A and B are shown apart, each in its own frame.
Chain A
Amino acid sequence: AQKITQTQPGMFVQEKEAVTLDCTYDTSDQSYGLFWYKQPSSGEMIFLIYQGSYDEQNATEGRYSLNFQKARKSANLVISASQLGDSAMYFCAMREQGAGSYQLTFGKGTKLSVIP
């Protein structure tokens, strides 16, 4: 079974609009962390936001927020006021705290295109 599922291969959003990128995860661990990374065409993975499984509040980092619904095992990324520079691949990832906790498991990614 896929541990991280991103169901949207590609998304389009108008500049200055908000967009939600979906992510669902599967784990039996009680303690885990969820990450979102941005990968521009240059290849570097850029950390955006983190949500811990025990965090009671949804994480926010500037224009990025994470809509964390633990019971549904979803961790959707919301980008507000999209900018042209937001066009990139976006990856959801999970770090489980059990055995093998030193690795990230990634989803397949969503390609976001921001339209002027």
Chain B
Amino acid sequence: KAGVTQTPRYLIKTRGQQVTLSCSPISGHRSVSWYQQTPGQGLQFLFEYFSETQRNKGNFPGRFSGRQFSNSRSEMNVSTLELGDSALYLCASSREFGGRKGYTFGSGTRLTVV
């Protein structure tokens, strides 16, 4: 079956711009989580959505936002980009409680802010 699909794979943006990243979960998975990965901070949780509702949010500024659509696809948006937003953004999907198989991750979107 198809895995978690993230688009685009690579992105270069200028400071001050905004960006939208997309994530299509595995069919039947209703939970979508987003993580930011940087060399300095490692993997950090951004937010998690289930049935179009944000259930949990990490410690990130309000410039980071997301949403989930009725087909479980999710988008995250970063406004007013800063150089420090350069990172690999990973999306993960799971059935409601993840269970023993945890979360299936996509290959990520590598964002570079210049």
Contacts and interface: CB of A to CB of B under 8 A. Distances in A.
Interface in B21-69: 31, 33, 35, 42-43, 45, 48, 50, 55-56, 58
A61 to B, nearest CB: 10
Contact of A52 (B48, B58, B100): B100
A32 to B, nearest CB: 12
A35 interface: yes
A109 B100 CA distance: 21
Interface string B92-103: 100000101111
A42 B105 CA distance: 12
Given A91-B43, A102-B31, A102-B33, A45 B90 contact: yes
Given A47-B101, A47-B102, A95-B98, A106 B43 contact: yes
A63 B110 CA distance: 31
A13 B33 CA distance: 33
Contact of A44 (B33, B45, B107): B107
Given A42-B107, A43-B107, A33 B50 contact: no
Interface residues of B, number: 25
- The secondary structure that dominates the B interface is strand
B23 to A, nearest CB: 13
A102 B56 contact: yes
Interface of B: 31, 33, 35, 42-43, 45, 48, 50, 55-56, 58, 88, 90, 92, 98, 100-108, 110
Given A43-B88, A44-B107, A104-B35, 5 more contacts: A47-B105, A102-B56, A103-B45, A104-B102, A109-B42
Interface of A: 33, 35, 37, 42-47, 50, 52, 91, 93, 95, 100-109
20 contacts: A37-B105, A43-B88, A44-B107, A45-B90, A45-B92, A46-B105, A47-B103, A47-B104, A50-B100, A50-B101, A91-B43, A102-B31, A102-B33, A102-B48, A102-B56, A103-B58, A104-B45, A104-B103, A106-B43, A109-B42
